Structure 1
Amino acid sequence: MSHVEDELKDQPACWTRAAAEVIRFRDRLPAPGERVAYVGCGTSYHMARAAAALREDAGLGETDAHPASEFPARRRYDRVVALTRSGTTTEVLDLLVALRGHVPTTAITADPHTPVMTAADRAVVLDYADERSVVQTRFATTVLTLLRAHLGLHTDAVIQDARTALTAPLPQGLERAAQFTFLGRGWSVGLAHEAALKMREAALAWSESYPAMEYRHGPVSVTTTGTATWMFGPPPDGLAEVVRATGATWVADGLDPLADLVRAQRLAVATAVARGLDPDRPRHLTRSVILTDP
């Protein structure tokens, strides 16, 4: 069994712990009314997008999400929160150093023995959610669980949905689909982007992701027999019928969107295995992107 399979199965326990411990970190996380930016790279950026949408929708303050490499230097924030599993990603460290003394910063990381601990003003360490696989699963979702709990949006029902996501069978033959499209609305758009990234990373699969209402504005043209369209959260009226009419597989299970991401992680692993790939070691990828000076 691969590391990623073990790690994704551990998510209910990690989420339970994160929700229980969030009170320890309240002074390090955004306060109501602050103007906040979440930043990250890759998977962490997609979690940042979901967290930003949740916070702003909850009415707790203007909240943006940016790739660390594309942070808008002229935009003013009361706090910047960086998500980084490894604590060594060059773009994140460079941004935190540039912001020092100008904007309060918090890093959420899995490794307390990395440069991010001194690059950021404050740190939240979720070392119990760290991973051996290059592909992120439990760290990313545990970070988002922590942030949901901080907003008062986490419930025990999410944990139960995660357990269901780990045990319910995937639609038969789904791992053999020729193309995958993931859709979301609001905060689950970030989850759709993350699901598509998982499919590309682990399984080298043709995968795309969109806000659900944008799907019919062009992307639906690639949907046909032998492809799959996966919806995170409630779909727009009539969308399921549009997809089924193309002959594609429609996937929407009614789980909490974060729990549904666990199912998408399982699909990525199953597709990788079906293609004879090692989901722990995607080609051309490493645990952290560390750039060197030219």
Structure 2
Amino acid sequence: MKEIMGVHTYREISEQPQALKEAYEEALRRKEWAETYLGDAEVQQTLFLGSGSSYYQAITMAATYRSWLKRPATALPSSDLLLIREQVVLEQSRTVAIGVSRSGESTEVVKALDSVKELPDWRLAGVTCYAESSMAKLGDSLVSKLGAEKSTVMTKSLASMIVGMQTAIALVSDRSGEHLQELDQLVQAQEERVREGEQLAQAAVSARNFDRTVFLGMGAMFGIAEEGCLKLKEMSNTWTESFGTLEFRHGPKSIVDQHTCVIVLVSDRSREAELKVAREMQDYGAYVVVAASAAGEDTAFADAFVETGLVGGSDEARAVAALPFLQYYGYFTALKRGNNPDEPRNLTQVVLI
């Protein structure tokens, strides 16, 4: 019997709307959690800790925290806190350390949190898909139950954990109503984003035989660009790179040619500058995909356009809207290369050391 490749990955990408809705509603019910771990203005450093995809979503979470709460936050690889703590944090500061892990069992994040649990003025928390996990036992955790997955690669889990954390951040923001409204709009629109993302990704993958794909983004979108890069690499065994959008012009753009796909995740705040980079890459021969809140005359040049919506809303809230396209892009590239997205080479769902 012929193997059906990628059945779990495909299904889990398509299940994002339900997972996002559940994570959003669960976070709304956990307002006390938000007030305890995110709402204390006396906290001097808030850390979002993860490994791999969980680190990339931590980047988006930290960017959201800084933008919406106007207080410092840092995303760190879990191993940095575990192994080189004195280089990356201030131990004597009043701190909230939030572990980010789909399984809640990743060795690095569990050991990192365990290594600081006795420090004075440190509180531990987490966000995961498994309420009974080791990480959740170390620190009170937000849980995205419908984010749980069979696949090795993270798709709906990552999107739902970001939305859950963003909802918690919104609850303690001075502009709570505004941010909650845009997150609600995001959740309601995600079914359309999934449907459109599948169609656009299939078309982009079929357009050319790409030797390389580059993902570009800034701020909250940079974490999503990093994640898009990893999804393609994991599923298709393709060498990809991700950069800050304008940073790509400082040397790395030398790799761009007609066999390159450049995907630019545009922030409204920096739209003009980022689209200028996108046009420049197209001039070098690249196939350019632009993801932005809405199409306009300034995006007409793009070879493909991905709408992320929330026109007039925040870049942070719309970040997750680009994920279905990015995940399907990795999925269809894998199938084109004869790889099974459900069985990425050398990988397991939980990384233990």
Q: TM-score, normalised by structure 1?
A: 0.93
Distance 1:161 1:263 in 2: 14
CA distance in 1, matches of 2:32, 2:98: 13
The Cα shift of 1:68 comes to 0.5
Q: Hey, what's the Cα distance between the residues in 2 that align with 1:156 and 1:37?
A: 26
Alignment partner of 1:250 out of 275, 288, 292: 288
CA distance in 2, matches of 1:156, 1:109: 21
Quote how far apart the aligned CAs of 1:218 are. 1.1
Amino acid at match of 2:183: T
- Judged with a 3 Å threshold, the aligned counterparts in structure 2 of structure 1 residues 32 and 223 are, in CA distance, closer, same or farther, namely farther
Counterpart of 1:43 in structure 2 is 53
Asked if the contact 1:233/1:257 (under 8 Å) is kept, the reply is no
Letter in 1 for 2:347: L
1:134 aligns with 2:137: no
Q: Which residue in 2 is equivalent to 1:10? A: 15
Pick the aligned partner of 1:240 from 278, 285, 289.
278
For residue 27 of structure 1, what is the aligned residue in structure 2?
Answer: 32
Instruction: List aligned pairs for 1:58-73, cutoff 5 A.
Output: 58-71=68-81, 72-73=85-86
* Aligned equivalent of 1:193: 226
User: Which blocks of at least 5 consecutive residues in structure 1 are unaligned?
Assistant: none
Would the aligned equivalents of 1:179 and 1:226 in 2 still touch at CA under 8 Å? yes
**Residue 109 of structure 1: aligned partner:** 128
Do the aligned partners of 2:18 and 2:146 also contact (CA within 8 Å) in 1? no
Letter in 2 for 1:16: K
The Cα of 1:279 is off from its aligned counterpart by 0.5
Closer/same/farther in 2, CA of residues 32 and 56 from structure 1, 3 Å limit: farther
2:13 is paired with a residue of what secondary structure? helix
Evaluate the alpha carbon distance shift between residue 123 and residue 173 of structure 1 in structure 2; reply closer, same or farther with a 3 A threshold. closer
Q: Distance in 1 between matches of 2:115 and 2:233?
A: 32
Secondary structure of the residue aligned to 1:44 is helix
C-alpha distance in 1, partners of 2:140/2:168?
16
Name the SS of the counterpart of 1:252 in structure 2: strand
Give the Cα separation in 2 of the matches to 1:17 and 1:200: 29
In structure 2, the gaps of 5 or more residues are: 1-5, 171-178, 293-307, 309-317
Cross-structure match for 1:174: 205
The one-letter amino acid paired with 1:158 is L
For 2:127, give the aligned amino acid. Answer: I
Paired residue total = 290
Deviations 1:157-184 (A, max 9, x none): 3235432332222263525321111111
CA deviations over 1:95-130 (Å, ceiling 9, x no partner):
111121321111211123332232x23122222210
Q: Which has the higher helix share?
A: 2
Q: Is the 8 A contact 1:32 1:61 kept in 2?
A: no
Please identify the structure whose Cα radius of gyration is greater: 2
- Distance of 2:40 and 2:325 partners within structure 1: 32
Higher mean Cα deviation, 225-234 or 180-189? 225-234
Aligned to 1:218: 251
For 2:113 and 2:281, how far apart are their aligned partners in 1? 43
Cα contact 1:40–1:67 (8 A) shared by 2: yes
